[in-house]
């Protein structure tokens, strides 16, 4: 399954370092070429010889040691890696990469690589929850680095909480999903909308919503990794668009409507994850509205419904809409599936913890026209994106 793939496993100094042996062995069994880089601290927990035997390759620890193989000398691990996994990833390596510090072989390789980088953190709960660590993780996620959520349980230090290295089997599955996916959307044109819309009140004020764009960008990333030719139409967000997608920034609902319609005809799949404002101020002011005595009334008029219009225009395309609800989730989502002539509705209850706006995870139901209502339990937005794409593939057969 992984024949021909080059995986670099970075092992940092934590009690869970021994679990990386199992990870390396699983990658090898799947046919991958594996190279291990250990930090000096990692060698306090596991001997490099163990990784050498399992990977059948020399293990690199010190960046200044003499290369033992010409292959390592001339084609650096950074260049030949298809994916770089750091497991366990300590707060230290996360902090170094987030702040551009490259002072050993592992941090240098990560910094010099254009491959996808996946961190599987493992550390004490309080350390993991520390705002500095969380800020570093957030920063790296926004830059396109991937994280595998640590598990909860009893930690080596005796504390109970989040911070345990995720199970090796799950780490291997996640790496394959993130970085080495099947190309089952190869050649398909897929348009995804993401983020909020912004409606001008006056030059300094606007109406918008809480969408961060994470859900839509995850769909764009997953679709692109699976071979699709992706157009990402996005309202303003703080996220870097995945490399290689055709990125179309938009602002208002009308602007998003025009952009989507312009690119609609050539699409095979359209996924509408954007949170589109239903209303806009009727007469946006050219100059700042000055404060006056009494209340201010702004008249709002309806925006065009992009999904509804796509439902009318669609021919062979697979049309996927979202439903963001706070109550009667399945009832309202079913109404949207029928009214908007969508093939699939992804319904999320935005009041649930770990779901909806801004979070890194989501909890969704997939509702199709055959009446199936499949629940996807809480998972990262990238995993949810892949489940949505699996369903799209199923519908297109």
Contact residues toward ligand PMT (CB under 6 A) are 195, 211-215, 253, 272-276, 278, 303, 305-307, 321-324, 336, 348, 350, 356-358
List, in sequence order, the alpha helices (H) in 208-341.
214-225, 253-264, 306-313, 329-339
The answer to whether 322 and 273 have CB atoms below 8 angstroms apart is yes
Minimum separation from the CB atom of position 94 to ligand PMT (A): 23
d(CA 218, CA 170) in angstroms, rounded, equals 19
Centroid of chain to Cα 206: 28
Nearer to ligand PMT, 77 or 310 (CB): 310
* Alpha-helix runs per DSSP H in 233-354: 253-264, 306-313, 329-339
Chain centroid, CA 311 distance in Å: 27
Angle among Cα 286, 289, 294 to the nearest 5 degrees reads 150
Smallest separation (angstroms) from ligand PMT to the CB of 212:
3
Which CB atom, from 159 or from 258, has the smaller least distance to ligand PMT?
A: 258
Catalytic residue among 157, 160, 186, 243: 157
Question: What is the DSSP secondary structure assignment for residue 14, as one 8-state letter?
Answer: S
Pick the closer one to ligand PMT by CB: 136 or 211.
211
Least Cα distance to 396 among 226, 274, 247, 260 occurs for 226
Interatomic CA distance for residues 250 and 235, integer angstroms: 5
C-alpha span between 345 and 323 (Å, rounded): 7
Cβ-Cβ contacts under 8 Å for 94 (sequence gap 6 or more): 119, 121, 133, 136, 137, 140
Q: What is the CA 87 to chain-centroid distance, rounded?
A: 19
**Closer residue to ligand PMT (CB): 71 or 390:** 390
Please identify, using beta-carbon distances, which residue of 76 and 142 lies nearer to ligand PMT: 142
Asked if residue 309 lies in contact with residue 261, where contact means CB atoms within 8 angstroms, the answer is: yes
Classify residue 296 as exposed, middle or buried by CB count within 10 Å of its CB (0-12, 13-18, 19+): exposed
Q: Nearest Cα to 304, choosing from 260, 359, 263?
A: 260
- 157 is an active site residue: yes
Question: What's the closest the beta carbon of residue 237 comes to ligand PMT, in angstroms?
Answer: 8
Q: How far is the CB of 305 from ligand PMT (least distance, A)?
A: 4
Task: Measure the CA–CA gap between 292 and 342, rounded to whole angstroms.
Answer: 46
Q: Are strands 83-89 and 6-11 parallel, antiparallel or unpaired?
A: parallel
Would you say 154 or 339 has its CB closer to ligand PMT?
339
Rounded least distance, CB 331 to ligand PMT, Å: 13
Task: State in angstroms the smallest separation of the CB of 219 from ligand PMT.
Answer: 10
**Cβ of residue 354: shortest distance to ligand PMT, in angstroms?**
12
Q: Give the residue with the Cβ less far from ligand PMT, 39 or 267.
A: 267
Contact 300, 324 (CB under 8 A): no
Catalytic sites, residue numbers: 157
């Amino acid at each position: 399954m992984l024949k021909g793939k080059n995986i670099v496993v970075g092992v940092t100094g934590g009690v869970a370092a021994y679990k990386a042996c199992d990870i390396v062995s699983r990658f090898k069994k799947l046919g991958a070429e594996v190279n291990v880089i250990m930090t000096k601290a990692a060698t306090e927990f596991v001997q490099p010889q163990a990784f050498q035997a399992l990977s059948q390759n020399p293990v690199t620890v010190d960046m200044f040691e003499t290369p033992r193989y010409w292959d390592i000398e001339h084609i650096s691990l950074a260049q030949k890696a298809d994916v770089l996994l750091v497991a366990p990833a300590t707060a230290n390596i996360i902090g170094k990469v987030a702040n551009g510090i490259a002072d050993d072989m592992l941090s240098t390789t990560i910094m010099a690589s254009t491959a996808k980088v996946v961190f599987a953190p493992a550390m004490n709960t309080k350390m993991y929850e520390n705002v500095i660590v969380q800020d570093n993780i957030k920063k790296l996620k926004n830059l396109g680095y991937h994280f595998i959520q640590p598990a909860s349980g009893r930690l080596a230090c005796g504390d109970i909480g989040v911070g345990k290295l995720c199970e090796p089997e799950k780490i291997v599955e996640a790496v394959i999903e993130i970085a080495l996916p099947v190309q089952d959307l190869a050649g398909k044109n897929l348009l995804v909308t993401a983020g909020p819309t912004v409606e001008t009140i006056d030059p300094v004020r606007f109406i918008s919503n809480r969408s961060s764009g994470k859900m839509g960008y995850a769909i764009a990333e997953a679709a692109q990794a699976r071979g699709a030719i992706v157009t990402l139409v996005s309202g303003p967000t703080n996220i870097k668009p995945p490399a290689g997608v055709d990125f179309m920034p938009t602002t208002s609902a009308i602007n998003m409507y025009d952009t989507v319609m312009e690119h609609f005809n050539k699409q095979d799949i359209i996924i509408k994850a954007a949170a589109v404002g239903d209303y806009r101020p009727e007469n946006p002011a050219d100059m700042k509205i000055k404060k006056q005595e009494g209340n201010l009334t702004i008249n709002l008029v309806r925006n065009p419904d992009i999904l509804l219009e796509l439902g009318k225009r669609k021919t062979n395309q697979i049309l996927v809409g979202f439903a963001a609800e706070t109550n009667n989730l399945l009832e309202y989502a079913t109404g949207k599936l029928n009214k908007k002539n969508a093939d699939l509705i992804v319904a999320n209850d935005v009041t649930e913890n770990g779901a909806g706006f801004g979070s890194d995870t989501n909890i969704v139901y997939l509702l199709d026209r055959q009446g199936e209502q499949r629940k996807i339990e809480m998972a990262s937005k990238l995993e949810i994106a892949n489940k949505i794409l699996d369903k799209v593939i199923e519908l297109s057969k």
